[in-house]
A and B are shown apart, each in its own frame.
Chain A
Amino acid sequence: MSSNVSVSPTSLIDHIVVPGDVVIDLSNMTNQTIKLGSGLRQDNDAISAMRAGKFSYSKPNKYWVESSHKRYIPRTEDHVLGIVVDYKADNFWVDIKGPQLALLPGLAFEGATRRSIPKFEVGSLLYLRVVKTNIGMNPELSGTDASGKASVFGPLKDGFMFETSTGLSRMLLSSPTCPVLEALGKKLSFEIATGLNGRVWVNAAAPRSVIIVANAIMNSETLSATQQRIMVEKLLAKISD
């Protein structure tokens, strides 16, 4: 351990850290069990950040680094938007913006049998769940939830898909509903599917609504809640005439 600075865990919480920063010094904390989330690494007594982002804490003992990236690292149980790139031997190869193509078994759909595998053309947009992410293997996807029902998964027809950072996707999926979606929902009616892999799909009756929603979302990444509401109002004012 090169750093001799004793760091109490509370000092860096909610601050931006960069890779290499020692965020927790375990020699100051005895008889405690802490849980390390993503972006943190343990070297004996020093817990250091592996990614640039905000050092976050949630009671009672969870620490992690929250960061936003253009690239997606697949995680099990994530909901993602994938694009079919190939179909070989009952399996679809799907691009999910990760380091490797993901495998979607043709049978991983509700009611699919060897004879009735859904026929998705190359280029189809699908809402899917990540099932397996083993190191060194292509991630595996499914078009059903854990109990085998289609639920929200499957092909997305019409509409418009655009790419975002992973941080923005997480904000759009947070609950309570994030300010930009709430403000848009008050005036417009639209459908939205958000993938944790940095892809968002929007559909509405009028193309104008689709464009407004997409632009509002893309603008909202760095805005605070109030700023998001003001931004949405300004955009909606442009079409209310």
Chain B
Amino acid sequence: MTEIVTPGEVLGNVSEFKAGKGAYVNDNTIYASLTGSRKIVSPLPESLDQRAIVEVTGHKAHGLIPQPGSIVLVRVTKVMARMASVDILCVGPKAVREKFAGIIRQQDVRETEIDKVDMHQSFRPGDIVRAMVLSLGDSRAYYLSTAKNELGVVSAESAAGETMVPISWTEMQCPLSGQTEQRKVAKVG
């Protein structure tokens, strides 16, 4: 059975079904909490509770969200004394559908000498950085980390406006002006 249900619609009774994803129980009735297709999943033969599970699958393809441990590509929006604010662009190889805010704190930029980190010598606004999600953070932003060799600035523009070439783990050079700028460079390849 795949009928479309909306949040609040009655899906069944607790005596017949168990509430699965997208459904919740109030008193003795199971209601939908999402808009989508109602599905009934048969119970496993070994389980004690032989009620079928009713669940609602969202009809929109669920957007990708960052999870702790996933590698993300971000663009730096603001650099401050103790942290950098970023916009999360991709989770793994896929782009996200909506903007997620992230923060890279001073102590999460690298593994060694974390109290001597100069945020301005690690990131600048506009840099593209590969980072790892540490946690869901607070209500404002995910907490990210670049404290690994393969994490850090992947692409950055120099003051002259050209994409810079990495020349070490801490420096990138502008091909136009020859000036070097300091960044926390990611080890790519």
Contact = CB atoms under 8 A, between A and B. Distances in A.
B120 interface: yes
B120 A134 contact: yes
B20 interface: no
A135 interface: yes
Contact of A103 (B81, B119, B124): B81
Interface string B76-105: 001111000000000000000000000000
B81 A135 contact: no
Nearest to B118: A134
Contacts of B81: 103, 137, 140
Give the secondary structure class of A's interface: loop
A134 B159 CA distance: 13
B125 interface: yes
Contacts of B159: 135
Contacts, number: 17
Interface residues of B, number: 9
A136 interface: yes
Contacts of A135: 124, 159
A138 interface: yes
Interface in A89-118: 103
17 contacts: A103-B81, A134-B79, A134-B120, A135-B124, A135-B159, A136-B78, A136-B79, A136-B120, A136-B124, A136-B125, A137-B79, A137-B80, A137-B81, A137-B119, A137-B120, A138-B80, A140-B81
**When A and B form their complex, which 7 residue pairs have the shortest distance between CB atoms, in order from nearest?**
A134-B120, A136-B125, A137-B79, A136-B79, A136-B124, A137-B120, A137-B80
Interface of B: 78-81, 119-120, 124-125, 159
Given A136-B124, A136-B125, 6 more contacts: A135-B124, A136-B78, A136-B120, A137-B80, A137-B81, A140-B81
